Structure 1
Amino acid sequence: MKWNLEEMNGIENKVAIITGANSGLGLETAKALILKGAHVILAVRNVQKGEEAKIELLEKTNINNSSQLTVMQLDLGDLLSVKEFSEEFQQRFEQLDLLINNAGVMFPPYSKTKDGFELQFGTNHLGHFALTAHLIPVLKKTPGARVITLSSIAHRGAHIYFDNLHGEKGYKASKFYGQSKLANLYFALALDEKFKEAGVDIKSVACHPGISSTNLFRFGREKATWFINLLLPLFSQSAEMGALPTLYAATSSTIKGGEYIGPNGAGNRKGYPALETPHASAGSRDVMERLWTVSEELVGMRFDIESK
């Protein structure tokens, strides 16, 4: 299967939120959606960079209607910011067809969010968990809405360190990145189960970009390493290709909810979108259920998914 942007249809006038949309995968996802007529909210931590991304998108797409793009401030590492963003969005918009939980940090030095969570777990997972919970009311009002959450091949072999979620008993950046991406996958799968149980018309889908050459690899580093400069291009793909699994998950008519979409090449590192089986590390129902409960406790809110 070589699904591409030419096959992406039926999203004109739909409203999409993309977190981390000012660069990399988020920027490419936004570009594809606005070219097909969607209204995209660039949910970004740095508003100035968001406005610069908006200008870049308008120039690259030759779209004259700047109202197709809205920049809104969102810091996923700050639960108050998540709440304020969600409230403002629901004051300004009556529908939300696509919530694309894309933003993330990768391999930073040990640090914490404003709420005291380990930065990667707090931003990549808990920030998106809280954002989705806040936006459930508007998602339920939108027929056929979808929540797309980006995981990673780094979930393979990863663990949820319930006794050390925030790295206070020891920290290794790669392991905690894996934890956050495994949490993303568990969240997406559990969320779809809850949607189906409640009988609401929302689908939750997980996806990953394979290994894509984006500035995510440079987060927290003053200079790119020789690995990034020399080796990454050999086994990675462009951000444009890396965005295809997200776009497929968000728009394909074959999606039923609960899928995991990734590149179809060797090791799922690059290629065109295809259905993928999560690694065995994401196969524990006990871990899934415990993670959901712990996440609700940490963000201080519960999901209101019931249809009425």
Structure 2
Amino acid sequence: MPSTIIITGANGSLATPAIKLLWSEYPEYTLVLTARNPDAVYSPTDLRNVSIRKLDLLDLSAVHAFATEIAAEIQAGKLPPLASIICNAYYWNLRSEPEATEDGFEKTFQANHIAHAALVLRLLGQFGKKLGGRVVLLSSDAHWPGRNRMEKTRPVIPDDLEALVNTTPEGGKANCRARGFQRYASSKLAIAMWMYALNRHLESDLALNKITAVAVNPGSLADSRALMVNTPLSLKIMSILIVRPFLFLLRRFSDPTLRTCAEAAADLVDFATNTTAPGERGYYTLSQKDVSSPDSLSEAKQEALWSKTIEWAGITSENTALQINDLYTDIRQD
């Protein structure tokens, strides 16, 4: 049955090989490829069933407008129903103090978590009714304290959830790398926690319980341009002179999840097409079912983050097909 796959951050290192694989091996899918700069998205030579769109996750009004547009096209038959949404886009900054978006949220957390949550919740009603579909969220080993060598300050979901989105200065330039990575890691922890809550709410909704969500640690990507953007010079040098040339040795003796973006993309495509673990939910490392960090497994914190995310993302019972409590959005609007 013809279906649509949406990919955010479609100009990224992981997205490009995923697009090539989907386009060549799965021609039955229509691809909607999004990026802040659509001109930078890889464009197949034959644009059959491929649509490249502008989407800025740092602008929640743009996310809502995009979701409205996609929903209208599906309902009008201009696009097939959704098969999956791959929440691939990311942001980090290891070189400066926290930055605020126009929406007033810390930039890393909005791009990585809030905007993707808004997109997913807005579009749940556009998945195929009989087959359901899959939401693919990108987490990281960084969400688990002590697992990533770049960690200096452990990721955390504080009791005061507003601390995740505030932009209070955190100690000057000397502290930027450590705290910038903590913000990134905490967003990846939030993604894993939110995945569990999303699955619970989907399973309890008879109209949507065929949609499944997975949070995937795609591994440490040796050739990712993430290592070259908003990072200190020392990290760029390490990437060019050590990580990429000695990938095989590092994977064997240091980090077994270290691999290329093309390798990780193959797993991503299998999740998106429901080839890997069809109909299953949960946390995965590479393509294998795994256990996420102990911090991510608190159901009380998952539900608190779920409710706060609905508030941050501007989701109400009128703009999502999922049954939600409007209390938090009502408070914010007041």
Q: Which 5+ residue runs of structure 2 have no aligned equivalent?
A: 76-80, 146-154, 171-178, 251-257, 325-334
User: How far 1:119 moved relative to its partner?
Assistant: 0.9
TM-score for the superposition, normalised by structure 2: 0.77
Equivalent in the alignment of 2:72: 91
User: How far 1:246 moved relative to its partner?
Assistant: 1.9
Q: Name the SS of the counterpart of 1:24 in structure 2.
A: coil
Q: In the alignment, does 2:158 pair up with 1:173?
A: no
User: How far 1:276 moved relative to its partner?
Assistant: 1.3
Identity of aligned residues (%): 25
Q: Name the SS of the counterpart of 1:164 in structure 2.
A: helix
Q: Name the SS of the counterpart of 2:82 in structure 1.
A: coil
Q: Name the SS of the counterpart of 2:48 in structure 1.
A: helix
Q: How many angstroms apart in 2 are the aligned matches of 1:116 and 1:252?
A: 39
* Contact 2:83/2:134, CA 8 A, preserved across alignment: yes
Equivalent in the alignment of 2:328: none
Which of 197, 201, 207 is the equivalent residue of 2:216? 207
Q: In the alignment, does 2:190 pair up with 1:183?
A: yes
Q: Which 5+ residue runs of structure 1 have no aligned equivalent?
A: 1-11, 59-63, 264-272
Equivalent in the alignment of 1:48: 39
Equivalent in the alignment of 2:53: 72
Task: Report matched runs for 1:1-308 at 5 Å.
Answer: 13-35=2-24, 36-37=26-27, 38-50=29-41, 53-54=42-43, 57-58=44-45, 64=46, 66-94=47-75, 95-108=81-94, 109=96, 110-139=98-127, 141=129, 143-157=131-145, 158-161=155-158, 162-171=161-170, 172-199=179-206, 200=208, 201-212=210-221, 213-221=223-231, 225-233=236-244, 234=247, 235=250, 236-250=258-272, 251-252=274-275, 254-263=277-286, 273-302=287-316, 303-306=320-323
Q: How many angstroms apart in 2 are the aligned matches of 1:237 and 1:67?
A: 31
User: How far 1:222 moved relative to its partner?
Assistant: 8.5
Q: How many angstroms apart in 2 are the aligned matches of 1:239 and 1:105?
A: 17
Of 254-263 and 185-194, more deviation after overlay is shown by 254-263
Q: How many angstroms apart in 1 are the aligned matches of 2:144 and 2:264?
A: 18
Structure 1 counterpart of 2:280, one-letter code: G
Q: How many angstroms apart in 2 are the aligned matches of 1:253 and 1:167?
A: 37
- Change in CA separation of 1:74 and 1:299 when aligned onto 2, cut-off 3 Å: same
Q: Name the SS of the counterpart of 2:33 in structure 1.
A: strand
- Change in CA separation of 1:43 and 1:163 when aligned onto 2, cut-off 3 Å: closer
User: How far 1:107 moved relative to its partner?
Assistant: 3.2
User: How far 1:262 moved relative to its partner?
Assistant: 1.7
In angstroms, what is the RMSD of aligned CA positions?
2.2
Structure 1 counterpart of 2:205, one-letter code: A
Q: How many angstroms apart in 2 are the aligned matches of 1:228 and 1:73?
A: 30
